[in-house]
Amino acid sequence: MTLPEMQDLIARGPYLNWLGLEVLALDEDSIEVRAKWREEWVASTRLMQTHGGILAALIDFAADFALVCRIGHGVPTIDLRVDYHRLAKPGDLVAKGRVIKFGRQFSTCEAQVTQDGALIASGRGTYITAPLPGKPPGA
């Protein structure tokens, strides 16, 4: 999948489009995107921190779409773990995901979210890569 094709795929999803994702790099087993900061992400106006749900969504997106780079379509998440390392302040975030283990039934991927080079959150997900019922393999 090319970078413009991936950007087009992301733009078709209303939630991903709302996140303001711009593909920076991709290869067969990884993806890197920039998420354009939105005021709606603020969880606490006193701290001006980005809500942890946004960070978790970026972890899940980057891990899942690392698989999209390999197989050409999204897959269901069956497990997701997120670790929060520091507060994300107003400003764009960069999410990087990569495939750790690709399997016929399940695959494992990891992702990191950074801001200005500092690690904000990291995580690992497990995804179903077996053919879905009613879909031929590779569809």
Domains of the chain are 3-128 (3.10.129.10)
* Closest-CA residue to 31 (of 56, 5, 52): 5
Cα 115 from Cα 99, distance rounded (Å): 22
pTM of the model: 0.91
CA dist 51 → 30, 44, 66, 70 (Å): 25, 8, 23, 30
Cα distance from N-terminal residue to C-terminal residue, the chain: 15
Q: What is the pLDDT along the chain (139 residues), one digit of tens a residue?
A: 899 999 999 999 999 999 999 999 999 999 999 999 999 999 999 999 999 999 999 999 999 999 998 888 889 999 999 999 999 999 999 999 999 999 999 999 999 999 999 999 999 999 999 876 766 555 5
